[in-house]
Amino acid sequence: MASSFAVCRWTQIFVRRPGGETRTGREICSHQLPLQRENAPQGTHVVVEFANRESVASLLEEAAIPSISHEAVVPFKSRLLSLKKLGSLDSPNQQSGQQCKPQTSIPINELIKRLSREESIDQQVTSLTETYQLTEENSRLRFLVCSLLQDIAAAYFPECTIKPFGSSVNGFGKLGCDLDMILDLDGISGRKAKTPKGGLSLEYNLKRANSERAVTQSILSVIGECLDQFGPGCVGVQKILNARCPLLRFAHQPSGFQCDLTANNRVAIKSTELLYLYGELDPRVRFLVFTVRCWARAHGITSSIPGAWITNFSLTVMVLFFLQKRSPAIIPTLDHLKNLAGPADKSVIEGNDCTFVSDFSKIQLQSNTETLEQLLREFFEFYASFAFNKMSINIRKGKEQNKPEVTPLHIQNPFETSLNISKNVNATQLDRFVALCQESSWLLQQSETNTPSLHSKGGSPTPWGLATLLLPSQVGGIKSRKKRRLEPASVRIKSLLESLKKS
Ligand code: CTP
Ligand code: MG
C-alpha cells in the first residue's frame, strides 16, 4: 500500500491521492516516512497548506473510518489521514514527479567531503550550518505535530495549546533534533479574577491537588495514556513524571520526530526566546553554535542518550559566554538585556526574574570584526584553558563567577539562577571536552590543516580545516580513542544511572 498525507495551515493532514490534485491546498513539504515498521504505511508524506478551514472540512467529509477485518480500531478522528491505493495507480513519486526533500541530516562522512571542497574555514562553517539547520518545511512540520497533539489534549482541556520550544524554534535546531513541546494551560479563559457582579462571584468547581507539581504530573499522566491508546502515530509513550521537570517522551511516527511533552514549563519558553534573540543579533552566533554542536556530536561529547554527557543546551550557553567574553564583546550580557527591557517585557515566573528586552532595535552592538575562523580557533583555546575547577560560566554577568558547588562543570541557568544546567556532567566527560578543545586548537594552528585541499583521494577531496576537526581519527587522539574502547557499555550505563539519580 502506498500512501501520502498532507497538511494545511489550519493543520489538516490527509492522504493525497498519489499524483492527484490537491484541489484545495498547496503542497509545502514532502518526505519519505522516516520510521518504517512492519505494517506501517509506506510512501511519501505530503504536507499541504490550505487556503481556508472550509476546504479542510469538505475534505474531511469524504474521509471514512477504515474497517479492517480481524482488527478493531479506535475511532479517533485525527487529522492524519491516509489514502488507500485502489486499482492500479502508479506509485506517488512516479505520478507526481515530486522531489522529496531530505528531512534528516546527512551523515558526517558526507559532510566532511562537502566541507573539504570549500575554499576557506569561514565558508566551511557557513556550509555546515546551511546543511544541518532546520528547513522551513521541517519547522512547519514541527508546528503541525504540536497542533495534532493539541487536538488530543483538547479532549480534556478545550482551550489548551501545545507549543514547541527548545532547538525546534530557538534558531539552533539541526535536522533530526527532538521536538520539545509545552502544554500550555495558562491561556485558558477565566484565569483572571473577574470583578464580582452585585456582590456575587461565579467560579468553576475544580479538583484540588497538593501542589502544582502534582497537578502537572496527573495531567501529563492522563494525556500520556490518551496518546498511547488513541494517538495515531504516537508510539513508545514513556511517562517520566518524577524528573525535575515531568515529561512524556514518545515517537511521532508519521513525522519521525522524537517528542518530549512537558507542562507548566514557562521558564524554558523564556530561555528559548533568549537563545533566539542571541542567534538573531549577529550571524556569527548561529554559525559558531552549529559548528561546535556538530564537532561535539562527531566526537561523542554530546549524545542522544541521556547521561553524564554535556548537552547541546549547555554547549550553546558556553558558546554565548565565549562570545560575550570577546573584546569587544560580540553579544551583550543578559543583565544588559534586562536593563534595556520596557514595562511590557517584565516577566517573573515562579519567583525567577525572566525579564529581558524584546525590542531588538534597542540593542546596540559593539563593532567586532573577528572572522569565523578566528572565533573557532579562539573558542577551542578559551575552553582548553578555562578554570573549570573553580569557575562557573555565567551569561547573565558575562563573566566567570566562583563556583557555588563542587560539580565538575558549572553553568548557571540563565533564569533559575540557583540551578546548574550541566549538573549531570561528570569529570570524565568534562576532561574529554577539554582534551578535544586542546587538540582542535592545536590542529587549527597547523599549516596543513589550514590549507584548502588541492588534490583529491579517489575522487574525494582531502579533508582540511573544519573537515579535519570532524574526523574521529584526527581529533580525540590515539590515547583517548584507546581509552574509549576500553570503557564500553559499563561507562555508559554508569553515566545513565548517575543522570537518572539527578533528574
Ligand atoms: N532547558 C533548560 N534547562 C536545562 C535543559 C533544558 O532550561 N537544564 C530548556 C532549554 O530552553 C532548552 C530546552 O529546555 O533549549 C530543550 O532542552 P533540550 O532538548 O535538552 O535542548 P535543545 O536546546 O532543544 O537541544 P537539542 O537539539 O539537543 O534537543
Ligand atoms: Mg531539544
pLDDT for residue 254: 87
What are the tens digits of pLDDT across the range 188-201?
888 777 777 788 88
Q: How far is the CA of 163 from the centre of ligand 2 (A)?
A: 13
- C-alpha pair distances (Å), 17 with each of 45, 46, 66, 137: 11, 10, 16, 21
Cα Rg of the chain, angstroms: 25
Q: How far is the CA of 166 from the centre of ligand 2 (A)?
A: 5
Q: How far is the CA of 162 from the centre of ligand 2 (A)?
A: 15
What are the tens digits of pLDDT across the range 177-228?
999 999 999 888 887 777 777 888 888 899 999 999 999 999 999 999 999 9
Protein residue whose Cα sits closest to atom 13 of ligand 1: 166
Nearest ligand for residue 272 CA: 1
pLDDT for residue 102: 58
Whole-number Å distance between alpha carbons of 244 and 421: 12
The one-character DSSP state at 312 is H
* Contact by Cβ (8 Å): 379, 326: no
* Contact by Cβ (8 Å): 23, 103: no
> Looking at the predicted structure, is the pLDDT value of residue 174 above 60?
yes
> Looking at the predicted structure, is the pLDDT value of residue 483 above 70?
no
Whole-number Å distance between alpha carbons of 186 and 354: 17
Looking at per-residue confidence, does 457 or 371 come out higher? Answer: 371
Where residue 19 falls among pLDDT bands split at 50, 70, 90?
Answer: very low
What are the tens digits of pLDDT across the range 249-263?
999 998 899 999 999
**31, containing H or E segment:** strand 25-32
Tell me the Ramachandran region of residue 392: left when phi exceeds 0, alpha when psi lies from -120 to 50, beta otherwise: beta
* Contact by Cβ (8 Å): 250, 135: no
pLDDT for residue 58: 83
- C-alpha pair distances (Å), 241 with each of 219, 245, 252, 282, 479: 10, 8, 19, 38, 41
Q: How far is the CA of 152 from the centre of ligand 1 (A)?
A: 24
Protein residue whose Cα sits closest to atom 12 of ligand 1: 166
- C-alpha pair distances (Å), 503 with each of 196, 244, 249, 382, 496: 44, 6, 15, 30, 10
Q: Which of 488, 166, 437 is nearest to 296 (CA)?
A: 437
Residue to probe by mutation, ligand 1, list 138, 313, 413, most atoms within 8 Å of CB = 313
> Looking at the predicted structure, is the pLDDT value of residue 47 above 60?
yes
- The reported pTM is 0.85
Buried b (16+ CB within 10 A) or exposed e, 280-300: ebeebbbbbbbbbbbbbbbbe
| Ligand 1 binding residues, C-beta < 6 A | 165-167, 170, 177-178, 180, 268, 271-272, 311-313, 413, 421
Where residue 460 falls among pLDDT bands split at 50, 70, 90?
Answer: confident
In ligand 1, the atom with minimum distance to the C-alpha of 260 is 19
Q: How far is the CA of 246 from the centre of ligand 2 (A)?
A: 15
> Looking at the predicted structure, is the pLDDT value of residue 121 above 50?
yes
pLDDT for residue 76: 86
Mean pLDDT over 466-490 rounds to 60
* Cell numbers that stand for 122 in this block: 569561514
- C-alpha pair distances (Å), 64 with each of 18, 79, 471, 492: 18, 12, 52, 48
Protein residue whose Cα sits closest to atom 7 of ligand 1: 268
The three state secondary structure string of 42-53 is ECEEEEEEECCH
* Contact by Cβ (8 Å): 302, 395: no
Looking at per-residue confidence, does 6 or 305 come out higher? Answer: 305
Nearest ligand for residue 245 CA: 1
User: CB-based contacts of 410: which residues, under 8 Å, 6+ apart?
Assistant: 388, 391, 392, 393, 403, 404, 420, 422
* Contact by Cβ (8 Å): 138, 47: no
Phi, psi at residue 425, to the nearest 5°?
A: -75, 130
User: ∠ CA 226-15-145 to the nearest 5 degrees?
Assistant: 40
Q: How far is the CA of 313 from the centre of ligand 1 (A)?
A: 5
> Looking at the predicted structure, is the pLDDT value of residue 26 above 50?
no
* Contact by Cβ (8 Å): 395, 324: yes
In ligand 1, the atom with minimum distance to the C-alpha of 312 is 28
179-184 and 234-240 strand pairing: unpaired
pLDDT for residue 44: 64
> Looking at the predicted structure, is the pLDDT value of residue 2 above 60?
no
Which of 70-79, 93-102, 141-150 is the most confident on average? 141-150
In ligand 1, the atom with minimum distance to the C-alpha of 422 is 8
* Contact by Cβ (8 Å): 425, 408: yes
Q: Which of 34, 37, 7, 10 is nearest to 22 (CA)?
A: 7
Looking at per-residue confidence, does 129 or 45 come out higher? Answer: 129
What are the tens digits of pLDDT across the range 145-165?
999 999 999 999 999 999 999
> Looking at the predicted structure, is the pLDDT value of residue 360 above 60?
yes
Where residue 495 falls among pLDDT bands split at 50, 70, 90?
Answer: low
Where residue 329 falls among pLDDT bands split at 50, 70, 90?
Answer: very high
Nearest ligand for residue 310 CA: 1
In ligand 1, the atom with minimum distance to the C-alpha of 167 is 24
> Looking at the predicted structure, is the pLDDT value of residue 99 above 60?
no
Nearest ligand for residue 422 CA: 1
Q: How far is the CA of 132 from the centre of ligand 2 (A)?
A: 15
> Looking at the predicted structure, is the pLDDT value of residue 38 above 70?
no
Nearest ligand for residue 293 CA: 1
The one-character DSSP state at 261 is E
In ligand 1, the atom with minimum distance to the C-alpha of 174 is 27
Least confident of 87-101, 199-213, 334-348: 87-101
In ligand 1, the atom with minimum distance to the C-alpha of 419 is 8
Residue to probe by mutation, ligand 1, list 134, 163, 180, most atoms within 8 Å of CB = 180
258 forms beta bridges with: 251
Chain length of the chain: 503
179 forms beta bridges with: 259
27 forms beta bridges with: 48
Protein residue whose Cα sits closest to atom 3 of ligand 1: 421
In ligand 1, the atom with minimum distance to the C-alpha of 267 is 7
Phi, psi at residue 26, to the nearest 5°?
A: -115, 145
Q: How far is the CA of 272 from the centre of ligand 1 (A)?
A: 8
Please report the DSSP string for 412-462 in residue order. Answer: B-SSSTT-BTTTT--HHHHHHHHHHHHHHHHHHHSHHHHSPP-SEETTEEP
Which residue ranges form the domains of the chain, and what is each CATH number?
Answer: 5-83 (no CATH), 113-118+282-327+369-503 (1.10.1410.10), 136-189+209-264 (3.30.460.10)
Whole-number Å distance between alpha carbons of 151 and 158: 8
Q: How far is the CA of 289 from the centre of ligand 2 (A)?
A: 14
Q: How far is the CA of 422 from the centre of ligand 2 (A)?
A: 15
HSE at residue 152, side-chain half, CA atoms within 13 A, is: 26
User: ∠ CA 160-166-170 to the nearest 5 degrees?
Assistant: 110
Protein residue whose Cα sits closest to atom 21 of ligand 1: 313
* Cell numbers that stand for 189 in this block: 479563559
Nearest ligand for residue 312 CA: 1
Q: How far is the CA of 167 from the centre of ligand 1 (A)?
A: 7
Buried b (16+ CB within 10 A) or exposed e, 88-124: eeeebbeebebeeeebebeeeeebbbbbbbbeebbbb
